Amino acid sequence: MSDDPSLSVPTSASDLFRLLTPASDSGPFRMPIEDVVTINRRVVIIGRVERGEVHGGDIIELSGDGQSITARVVRVEFLCWRGDGEPSASVGDNVGLRLARVRAEQIRVGWIANAQSAVEIS
């Protein structure tokens, strides 16, 4: 058996929570896109926030396969509504982002959603 603590099995709920929670939420918004759906003619991208926060009204950049497009977040959707005011998503949240200015055919699973200012143009 190894003495490496990173290989140990969680023994409590707090150990499990620490294991599942990302180490840092600093930095600009970043979310890998796990699914793209259309609901009532609106495009919704689904994923887990890896870094930063996103709010309704934010402009984000969707990029992958050497392409990038800009979209506005109309609303942050949660599978389980927390009911604590204006919805926003932060690190670890599994969310759907309802978008404007984009069509579902323009986006692919595996692309990354970033805060617009976080994307470097090369």
Please report whether residue 51 resides in a domain.
Answer: yes
Among residues 97, 39, 107, the alpha carbon closest in space to that of 115 is found at 97
Its pTM surpasses 0.85? no
More confident residue, 92 or 9: 92
Domain CATH number, residue 76 = 2.40.30.10
**Which pLDDT belongs to residue 122?**
39
**Number of domains the chain is built from:** 1
> Does position 14 have pLDDT exceeding 60, yes or no?
no
Mean pLDDT for 41-70 is: 94
Please report whether residue 79 resides in a domain.
Answer: yes
Rounded Cα–Cα distance for residues 50 and 113 (Å): 10
Please report whether residue 67 resides in a domain.
Answer: yes
Residue-wise pLDDT for 79-109, tens only, equals 655 566 667 888 888 999 999 989 999 999 9
Q: What percent of the chain has pLDDT over 70?
A: 67
